[in-house]
Amino acid sequence: MTVDHEGLRLFLALGFFFAGAHAYAKLSPYFAATWFGAGLVFGYFWTGRQADLESLLTPALVFYIAAAATKGLVESREGLAGNHVVHVLFTGLFSGIAALPLLACAQLLGVDLPGESVGPAFLSDVPASVLGHVSPTLFAAWVVAGTVFYGAYKTLDHVGLGKPLQTIALFVSAAFLPQLVGVVLGG
Partner 1 sequence: MFERIIARMPLLLMVAVVVLTVQVAFVQNRRTERVVAAVPLAIVTLLYFRAGRGGGGGRGSRGRARSERSRSEAEA
Binding site for partner 1 (CB under 8 A): 1-3, 8, 11, 15, 18-19, 21-22, 25-26, 61, 64-65, 68-69, 71-73, 76, 94, 97-98, 100-105, 108-109, 129-134
Residue 103 vs 140, nearer CB to partner 1: 103
d(CA 181, CA 129): 24
d(CA 56, CA 44): 6
Q: 131-158: string of b/e by CB count within 10 Å (b at 16+)?
A: beebbbbbbbbbbbbbbbbbbbbbebee
Closer CB to partner 1, 107 or 155, in the complex: 107
Question: How many C-alpha atoms does 6 have within 13 Å on its Cβ side?
Answer: 2
Give least dist CB 159 to partner 1, A. Answer: 27
For the CB of residue 95, give the shortest distance to partner 1 in the complex, in Å.
Answer: 11
Give min distance, CB of 126 to partner 1, in A: 13
Shortest CB 5 distance to partner 1, Å: 11
